[in-house]
Structure 1
Amino acid sequence: MPIHLECLSHTPLHGYFDPPPDVVAEVERVGREARARVEAFQPDLIVAFAPDHFNGFFYDMMPPFCIGAKAQAIGDFKSLAGTLPVPEELAHALAQSVLAADIDVALSYRMQVDHGCAQALEVLTGGLDRYPVIPVFINSVAPPMATLRRARLLGEAIGRFMASTGKRVLVVGSGGISHEPPVPELFGATPEIAERLIAGRNPSADSRDAREARTVAAAKAFTNGDSHLHPLNPEWDRAFLALLASGELTAVDGMTNAAITRDGGKSAHEIRTWVAAFGVLAAFGPYCASLDYYRAIPEWIAGFATMHATPTQAA
């Protein structure tokens, strides 16, 4: 079948503040296995769903969804930097098709993606430019956010378009499960932080270094049990992953934004990227999914997981 799905968590803290070496080794092993599956599949195109962490998208114009027709990876937290090889005309046609399906989506010819997208491409392909890629941003940290139902419908609309292209499509969802790193919020912020959340593109090197240092310090405090951040929730994580594997994708429609924050933390909304990716796959028909890895990793402030899936007939 012409579609294969890989969903995986990302972390900016890999190499900055790591769990024990055996845990790092098992995460890297699972990543190598995922890359081998991608190599065997040999996609013509990658559709990569990813969040942003106030690096490329800001409150000066915060869309719920955005398709990139041209895109650059900024290289935060030592992730890869450079130009993504986006097929411009295909991305434009995709946006037009999604809008025709009554799903409101923005289109960008100057998209900036951060580690949330770049890390997934590096793990799965070894770089940013191994295959043509269309990045799809899903707002997952800046309220108000679209519902999981809308993320599912976005994925399904993209899936129907991709099925019409005849291309071999690798669909990627990159996001954490339960987690709440120290991402600032607009309401109640100081004027300086509010301005960064509204128009903080292209920060200075000193500003980026300071932000990275704050994240590392927060991870250390979280691991030591000296943190106000939302605890990881393995039970909730596994229930969500089991829901995806069940094939009953419409069940996510009942998960409200308030419940996601309550149970998984403020950044657990990144599960939208997984839901959209599975929505693409579901548009091709019934699927068979495998949970390849799950571990709650406090050093990375993340419920960390990987899954892959293919159409049932291919399995």
Structure 2
Amino acid sequence: MAVTALVTMSHSPLMGRNDPEPEVVAAVDAAFEEARAFIGDFAPDLVVMFAPDHYNGVFYRLMPPFCIGARALSIGDYDTAAGPLDVDREVALRIVRHVLSRDVDVALSERLEIDHGVAQPLEILFGGIDAVPVVPVFINGVAEPLGPVRRARQLGQAVGEAVAGLDKRVLFVGSGGLSHDPPVPQLDGAAPEVAERLIAGGVLSREARAAREQRVLEAGQALAAGAATVQPLNPQWDAEVMRVLAAAEFDVVDSWTPEGFVEDAGHSSHEVRTWIAAYAALAATAGRYEVISSFYRPIPEWVAGFGITAARPAA
């Protein structure tokens, strides 16, 4: 039987580019060091990572709510490494088959392109994008319309069931969230050239990628200066999400709505679906669990309610 544990974390492409005060950076670094120590003690054989995309690998030409990569490649945005991940294809296919058998429709990709939403956690927590065997699980967190929040919980539960019979130590990682509303384009009302990019995708030119990254940087600078052009962070919402997941109150999770997420915490707060799936996967394998470390700071410079948690089966 699998032995499981969990780490969830926010990501931000502005880390190292638009940093807050040194004491805040030091606190984040200390929290990541604690997470790395937890992972080192757990010594996973496999990482199952739930993560979003930001119109870098998955586009409206075919936008699945969920997709599991049997093979995956990092595009290398925001100075993350480019190249192939060390995907455990056999386990990925096992997960796909089981998730489908549990009436959760999930897509399969033999060439899943991932961005900083996957690459940054792999680099921060493990030291590289190919440092550990992984199964990447894409969860749509930006492209409207989005399905009920409970579907992320159902996906996570099915993924947990799929790995429960493995003779492996499996770490579930949720990457994304919490409250944030960066300048990610919306298809509805987009200019024709932007809409075409969101639909067709393709490789951005160096100039286009630089312009895109500059817009995100300027949003972080404006938010930190109190001249926000984006929705402010919501620490109260973030705290409630973290409390509910730590308490395994999945009935509360099932009552959350996509509209409520956007109204309370910004369009990209839907990335917290990755945390929901990861906690549901842990619950499916461990039953009761306990959160052993929990960190949170609202960091406007990174346009992120920034959280890091670690959890394991309850004693």
SS in 1 for 2:246: helix
SS in 1 for 2:267: coil
Structure 1 residue identity aligned to 2:309: M
SS in 1 for 2:281: helix
2:188 is aligned with 1:187: yes
Whether the aligned pair in 2 keeps the contact of 1:173 and 1:276 (CA below 8 Å) is yes
The equivalent of 2:137 in structure 1 is: 136
1:198-218 residue CA offsets vs partner (Å, 9 max, x unmatched): 112221111111111111111
The equivalent of 2:265 in structure 1 is: 264
The equivalent of 2:306 in structure 1 is: 304
Note the residue ranges of structure 2 that are not aligned, 5 or more in a row: none
Whether the aligned pair in 1 keeps the contact of 2:179 and 2:265 (CA below 8 Å) is yes
How many angstroms apart in 2 are the aligned matches of 1:201 and 1:296? 33
How many angstroms apart in 2 are the aligned matches of 1:32 and 1:80? 21
The equivalent of 2:296 in structure 1 is: 294
SS in 1 for 2:73: strand
Structure 1 residue identity aligned to 2:63: M
Number of matched pairs = 313
The equivalent of 1:156 in structure 2 is: 157
How many angstroms apart in 2 are the aligned matches of 1:160 and 1:14? 35
The equivalent of 2:34 in structure 1 is: 33
1:252 Cα deviation after fit: 0.2
Structure 1 residue identity aligned to 2:298: A
The equivalent of 2:178 in structure 1 is: 177
Whether the aligned pair in 2 keeps the contact of 1:245 and 1:290 (CA below 8 Å) is no
The equivalent of 1:213 in structure 2 is: 214
Structure 1 residue identity aligned to 2:43: Q
How many angstroms apart in 1 are the aligned matches of 2:90 and 2:164? 17
1:291 Cα deviation after fit: 4.5
1:200-257 residue CA offsets vs partner (Å, 9 max, x unmatched): 2221111111111111111111212222311111011101100011122232000100
Whether the aligned pair in 2 keeps the contact of 1:241 and 1:291 (CA below 8 Å) is no
How many angstroms apart in 1 are the aligned matches of 2:7 and 2:95? 21
1:115 Cα deviation after fit: 0.6
Of 162-171 and 224-233, deviating more is 224-233
The equivalent of 2:10 in structure 1 is: 9
Whether the aligned pair in 2 keeps the contact of 1:45 and 1:170 (CA below 8 Å) is yes
The equivalent of 1:238 in structure 2 is: 239
What does residue range 87-166 of structure 1 map to in structure 2 within 5 Å? 87-166=88-167
Note the residue ranges of structure 1 that are not aligned, 5 or more in a row: none
SS in 1 for 2:277: helix
Whether the aligned pair in 2 keeps the contact of 1:219 and 1:298 (CA below 8 Å) is yes
SS in 1 for 2:164: helix
How many angstroms apart in 2 are the aligned matches of 1:29 and 1:79? 21
2:61 is aligned with 1:60: yes
SS in 2 for 1:131: coil
Instruction: Percent identity, please.
Output: 52
1:144-175 residue CA offsets vs partner (Å, 9 max, x unmatched): 11222110010000101110112110100001
Whether the aligned pair in 1 keeps the contact of 2:46 and 2:171 (CA below 8 Å) is yes
1:87 Cα deviation after fit: 1.4
2:223 is aligned with 1:222: yes
Structure 2 residue identity aligned to 1:220: Q
Whether the aligned pair in 2 keeps the contact of 1:52 and 1:139 (CA below 8 Å) is yes
SS in 2 for 1:307: strand
SS in 2 for 1:189: coil
How many angstroms apart in 2 are the aligned matches of 1:92 and 1:22? 44
2:279 is aligned with 1:275: no
Whether the aligned pair in 2 keeps the contact of 1:60 and 1:199 (CA below 8 Å) is yes
1:116-149 residue CA offsets vs partner (Å, 9 max, x unmatched): 1111111111111221100000000001112221
How many angstroms apart in 1 are the aligned matches of 2:307 and 2:125? 14
Whether the aligned pair in 2 keeps the contact of 1:181 and 1:218 (CA below 8 Å) is yes
Structure 2 residue identity aligned to 1:309: A
Of 78-87 and 48-57, deviating more is 78-87
How many angstroms apart in 1 are the aligned matches of 2:170 and 2:38? 13
SS in 2 for 1:112: strand
Structure 2 residue identity aligned to 1:196: R
SS in 2 for 1:170: strand
SS in 2 for 1:151: helix
Q: What's the TM-score, normalizing by structure 1?
A: 0.97
Whether the aligned pair in 1 keeps the contact of 2:292 and 2:312 (CA below 8 Å) is no
SS in 2 for 1:165: coil
1:33 Cα deviation after fit: 1.3
